[in-house]
Amino acid sequence: MERNDILKRVEEIFREELEIEDLELNDETTAEDVDGWDSLSHIQLVAAMEGAFGIEFSSREILSWNNVGDLIDSIQKKV
């Protein structure tokens, strides 16, 4: 799957879960940049992405992401 496609899909999921309609993400976006994305909502986002892509991350992977770019890399490895 193309990296950009993954990014767009992830963006959709974020918009839905965090209820921010015009949210835009790029590789450098971190939790600090997005209103409502904290360690708590993080898990909801993870579960939603796992469901959407049909994949499963390891705990270590999940905790290793520093920005959206890392996240996309992890997804890309699995699809």
Partner 1 sequence: MVVNSLAFLWFFLIVLAIYYLCQKQKEVQNIFLLGSSYWFYSQVDIKMTGLLVVLTLVFWLLGKGVHLYLEKEDERKAAIVTNVGVVIGIGALFYFKYLNFFAESVSAFANFIGIHLSWTALNLVVPIGLSFFTFKLMSYVLDIYHGKIEPEKNIVSFANFIAFFPTILSGPIDRPKPFLKQVNQARLFISDNVMAGFRRVLWGMFLKMCIADRLDIYVSAIWNNYEHHSAISILFASLLYPFQMYADFGGYSEMAIGVALILGFKVAENFKRPFFVIDIAAYWSRWHMSLTSWLTDYVFLPLNIKFRKFGVNGTIMAIMLNMAFIGMWHGANWTFLLFGIYHGLWYIPLMVSGQFFKKRKILVNAKGWPTQPYVLKMVGIYLVVTFGLMLFHSSSMTEFFQVWGSIFSHWNGGLFLDRNTMMNAAICSIALIYVDIQEEWFPKKKLYLPTFAERWRWELTVAVEIICILLFGVFDNNQFIYFQF
Binding site for partner 1 (CB under 8 A): 19, 35-36, 39-44, 46-47, 50, 59-60, 62-64, 66
Minimum CB separation of residue 36 from partner 1 in Å reads: 5
Write out the DSSP string of the chain.
--HHHHHHHHHHHHHHHHT-TT----TT--GGGSTT-SHHHHHHHHHHHHHHHT----HHHHHH--SHHHHHHHHHHH-
Nearer Cβ to partner 1 (4/39): 39
Minimum CB separation of residue 2 from partner 1 in Å reads: 26
Nearer Cβ to partner 1 (25/57): 57
